[in-house]
Structure 1
């Protein structure tokens, strides 16, 4: 008999979940019945098909079989080898370097199990630290129908969960219990279910966790994908209406003398897209609700001057503007570019605020910002600190806005008088993704490059062409040009990557280019040292700059016309395109050379080929989305991507479009909607906190 509990009740109401087990589940983000039921299987094993799998090196496999033997290999690194036989009698060695004694007790000969992992080849097929789940044999008591079906769902788990019995079998048991005990209330409007041909919620939960067939599972998945998209689109609509419910306090002037003066003195003409972007954003700024716009521009399209022209309409009306960038190098570059643009104009009060400044200098700057003497304040995350108070902040410009979290964007907003927000990105985001992620923002695009810019000649070379690449660099340096040589730097192997970049600098400066000045730049250097290196490079005192991806965004040295990317197969398309944008910033012919080893993966080949074929960032972003997904496209964990549990922004795009339209049509604005949004999304908790 079902209890009076509901889907948002804590897990402790279920039999067998005491405080200790609840704590472990909580540490893994599972606090309520809803969290448990939306812990969806990460994959399914169809017993009928496991015999047909052909073993292939490098592939992720899920296989059914049994243990034939196990033994410990002693040496520098002791390891346990477990012999696994597939249903086709093929042997795979399961290799365990950690927990050797624990696994030795667990893996008994002849036990049947499912294994998952990446198939490698070393004296035969092997999988290192596979995921596994033991199956009950016939005759054992634990052969309930939920474990013995044709389709076996496999759940994400880890050691702490497994210690409390939450492997795939444990999850199935608990989920089965929840579905028997807890009433499942429908959360989508009935006419919507009918219109979109979606199965009811309670049936969908049963079919996604205990499917009788793959067809049942697919229908259940469609229902939950749509549900996630629908409530996310409702969140976007609520955010927009909440923002628009608070009226504008500060008004930029429609006609700015400073902007007109700057335009008359620019040494170049604005592109049609830049002119339209300024008009479109200024038009939005004349409404009585604050604007929130996303200015997208491909690398080198001139977003900074566009943002500055808009900012001057605020500054001329005594309204402060904050300009926030993700790195000190970029913040300083914006400061220098803006100073250069405004050079001959009366002092407007431009302030650069960075971390680690002298106390007295910082204190003076804070005082000028507080009194309103500083009209345009440029900085990094340092602008978020509590002691920074503005007098009349009316416009916040956030460059590379996806590198700031939701809470950080909210913090800078809260320092103003319901300010306008102009978010900028040089990572073109495909339209569909834009509409879903930033549906509460007005989208403005700059697609054309400034006049006279030539396409960057991009080539992919392997090691056998290296000597020729170095000869070309020497030739262009003799002609007065400069060159970047970029090395990858990723979190997981940061220490090793930094070492290889530093060693490469030493080798290149001593052995390959002894007649040139070769500089080194990376993110671990002190701010003052980074500034000194960048300034030397800008002044052409350094001809070659060996660097990490710290130069990925915004660095502007027009005389640098060659970019060499080492280990280019380790980068995504969007990141390579960003790096490529460091050259081609003048009317000079520019080159981007992508260097790799002889053998690269099929995915890497696809990425590198795409780069050599086009300079169009929008086309490349579609390709990157297709290959690697939205998280990689936007590049960071903090990107504000929604916490979808089952929906895939690439493969489920058609459902995303439907959910956008339906959220406008079917929204009731009731408590059920708000509780669903709060339970699903962190932004929802924030939005409906009161």
Structure 2
């Protein structure tokens, strides 16, 4: 029996799977499927239970199921308009009658014979007490195909020209390659035994083509456990490495700290004071600080970083503040430099777009100790950046940086303290588990005087009224964001695109106003120029993709309009909304919801009723399906392919407990080299294993 390693599956292209040609290869690549392993772990998003056959009379409105019936009429075709063909046929069983309807599926006319029995599967629809089924799939009753069709079918996320049947057939071909083989299991045998978990190959087969839902759930449990176990193992291993790296710096309380606090143009909130106490306590201990400061948009996390940097410098060390964008780095630089200059603290900016001579001057200043605090982007982790005495590393908007990037910067000092900040509110239980390598502080209070952003959900019928409101705000001297989910129009998704929207409003609706556009496909220099122009007030309306989600501070912007709001997660909508409401003026957020679904209405209602990011993130967890909630990718963690962090919280706790037990017995996984290899492969460059 052949023994297959995970590396073999990860290195084998799906090009060698039967049924995958060059054209399909590119379609699968659109779904981020390149290797056989990617395909095997491309889990169904849902299942069709075609095994349950009902009588026609028992079919309920909106129910999806199978029924057997006799075709009692010829297929009729109607052409209500060009490019549209509607095919209809009557089907009867001993209990009742139903009309089967297909749109643009003309093959049906030659596929159904009057008097023959078929098994139909689809969604029943009752209109004016008449039953119909729209676009059902069907098989001749009693045929071999019928026997194959009366089972549970997986339903996968798909893309244009790559339908469910194609994915299913190719998945079956891929699973056949595992027959008669034995596969290395990521999970240690004692862990599988303790939690009664089946083998990987068995579970992979059952998750794709289960014989029952009980079998599917059993397979899912094992695969979820594995995913969360590896996630926790990586995070906990990273934490243990940080703890083993030796003693940290014992900072003292500088005498100037009180006068610095008193000189601030505002008083800290009770929440900020509590978090500052926790940070100071960490800095004054002999252990390395690894603390996450989590706070809602506008809660005042930056001042905590400023105070920590002040403490570090006044104790004889240098500090670094890393942020995700150049515009944010400049904003921090302009606000922090004047505060520090009064206390003879030198602050400099470092970004990729600076002239070479300027960068070289900063490099020398850091290595020689002339610069006390550097504020910069990813440029800070370049090899050329060397510090004389780095004592504190702060990363702002943590969800834009990976664990690995944070580590590279920290390694430029001798066990410096690390302070991480995020405006992505995560329910505390999850934060404790997801940020397993960090202690957590939460700023759960907004500064006084901030007015809650008034949020409204509207549909297309309100377009003219909203356009009038946009114009009113601009005439008042205010600025407006219009956010779109796509950069360019897509045939697959009907959503407002940034490019098309900008053209529409600048050429038609607001042709007399200054309209700008910014999106991810633009060059860095172009993006920076547009943002600077908006910050300076030269642009009245900025049409953007989610690129402005983080860190942009324009107090004069008081209105945000989000197109196709149904296409965004709640946490992301909340982050976007946080770009307005940053000044004393009342701010507004308008959500255009193009979906009529109940779930969409519920999500928009939550946004309209709450400005609390923690409440919203709880709801986001509750409503979203399995997968990548708030983007574990963005957090520098592996993407979750099957686990649902809300539904699987109990499994997450067990996985963490199991990972802790293993690392206690075998710190650094020195006795589990294979598992260590899987873990490195699973996390890629994002976690350091020693």
Could you state the TM-score of these two structures normalised by the residue count of structure 1? Answer: 0.76
Decide which of 426, 442, 455 is 1:429's aligned counterpart. Answer: 426
Q: Which residue of 2 aligns with 1:334?
A: 332
Does residue 295 of structure 1 match 2:293? yes
For 1:460 and 1:268, the matched residues in 2 are separated by 35
Aligned pairs for 1:548-587 within 5 A: 548=544, 549-586=546-583
CA deviation vs aligned residue, 1:89-129 (integer Å, no higher than 9, x gap): 73434679xxxxxxx9xx99689999999x9xxxx9988xx
Give me the whole-angstrom Cα distance separating, in 1, the residues matched to 2:482 and 2:616: 20
Instruction: Kindly state the Cα deviation for residue 294 of structure 1 after the two structures are TM-superposed.
Output: 1.6
For residue 626 of structure 1, the aligned residue among 614, 617, 622 is: 622
The aligned length equals 646
Match of 2:279 in 1: 281
Aligned to 2:592: 596
| Displacement after TM superposition at 1:438 (Å) | 1.4
1:379 matches 2:369: no
Asked if 1:490 corresponds to 2:482, the answer is: no
1:363 Cα deviation (Å)? Answer: 2.6
Q: Which residue of 1 aligns with 2:218?
A: 219
Q: Does 1:46 align with 2:43?
A: no
In the alignment, what sits opposite 1:245?
244
Contact preservation (8 Å) 2:622, 2:646: yes
The partner residue of 1:412 within 392, 409, 413 is: 409
Q: Are residues 1:229 and 2:225 paired? A: no
Deviations 1:278-315 (A, max 9, x none): 22123223444432222111011011111110111222
- The alpha-carbon deviation at position 491 of structure 1 amounts to 4.4
Partner of 1:268: 266
Question: Matched residue of 2:608: which SS?
Answer: helix
Give deviations 1:593-619, integer Å, cap 9, x for gaps. 415378654343222211221111110
User: 2-side partners of 1:225 and 1:600: how far apart?
Assistant: 32
The correspondence of residues 99-178 of structure 1 with structure 2, limited to 5 A, is: 150-153=151-154, 168-169=168-169, 171-172=171-172, 175=175, 178=178
> 2:129 aligns to what?
none
The answer for the alignment partner of 2:448 in structure 1 is: 451
Deviation at 1:636? 8.0
Alignment partners' CA distance in 2, 1:405 and 1:215: 37
SS of residue matched to 2:365: helix
* Aligned counterpart, 1:100: none
Distance, in Å, in 2 between the alignment partners of 1:522 and 1:110 is 53
Q: How does 1:458-469 map to 2 (within 5 A)?
A: 458-462=455-459
Q: Secondary structure at the match of 1:10?
A: helix
Post-superposition CA distance 1:147-170 (Å, at most 9, x none) = 6773455678899999xx995345
How far did 1:190 drift? 4.9
Deviations 1:530-568 (A, max 9, x none): 35424422xxx77x4434244433333445444444554
1:649/1:677 CA distance change after superposition, 3 Å: farther
CA deviation digits over 1:19-63, x for unaligned, max 9?
78799999876768x777656555544332376898999x99999
Distance 1:226 1:589, change over 3 A: same
C-alpha distance in structure 1 between counterparts of 2:279 and 2:398, whole Å: 17
Q: How many Å apart are 1:202 and its aligned residue? A: 7.0
Partner of 2:95: none
Aligned partner of 2:502 in structure 1 is 501
Going from structure 1 to structure 2, the CA distance change for 1:256 and 1:556 (only over 3 Å counts) comes to farther
Shift of 1:265: 0.5
Please say if 1:355 is aligned against 2:356.
no
SS in structure 1 at match of 2:580:
coil
CA distance in 1, matches of 2:406, 2:51: 51
In 1, are the aligned partners of 2:403 and 2:637 still within 8 Å (CA)?
no
Cα displacement (A) at 1:521? 5.4
Q: Which residue of 2 aligns with 1:644?
A: 640
Matches of 2:141 and 2:385 in 1, distance apart? 63
C-alpha displacement of 1:652 = 1.6
Aligned-residue offset at 1:374: 1.8
- 1: distance between equivalents of 2:579 and 2:251? 35
In 2, the alpha carbon distance for the partners of 1:259 and 1:488 equals 45
1:131-153, Cα deviation, whole Å (9 max, x unpaired): x999999579xx9x9x6773455
Could you tell me how far apart the structure 2 residues matched to 1:485 and 1:221 are? 42
| Counterpart-to-counterpart distance in 2, 1:161 and 1:536 | 47
How far apart are 1:465 and its partner, in Å?
5.2
Q: CA–CA distance in 1 between the matches of 2:342 and 2:68?
A: 75
CA shift for structure 1 position 264:
1.5
Q: Distance in 2 between matches of 1:12 and 1:658?
A: 28
In structure 1, how many angstroms separate the alpha carbons of the residues matched to 2:468 and 2:181? 73
Instruction: Label 1:547 to 1:329 Cα distance change in 2 as closer, same or farther (>3 A).
Output: farther
- Distance in 2 of aligned mates of 1:135 and 1:677: 52
Does 2:612 match 1:616?
A: yes
Residue 192 of structure 2 contacts residue 198 of structure 2 at CA under 8 Å; is this kept in 1? no
Gaps of 5+ in 2: 93-97, 126-131, 491-495
* CA distance in structure 1 between the partners assigned to 2:105 and 2:394 by the alignment: 52
Check whether the contact 2:550–2:575 (CA below 8 A) recurs between aligned residues: yes
Q: Which residue is equivalent to 2:493?
A: none
Deviates more, 1:627-636 or 1:408-417: 627-636
Q: Counterparts of 1:502 and 1:473 in 2: how far apart (Å)?
A: 16
- Compute the displacement of 1:486 (Å): 2.1
* CA distance, structure 1, for counterparts of residue 66 and residue 316 of structure 2: 64
After superposition, the CA RMSD in angstroms is 5.1
Contact 1:643 1:681 (C-alpha < 8 Å) held by counterparts: no
User: Aligned residue for 2:309?
Assistant: 311
Task: Determine if contact 1:393/1:416 at 8 Å carries over to the other structure.
Answer: yes
Whether contact under 8 Å (2:427, 2:617) holds in the other structure is yes
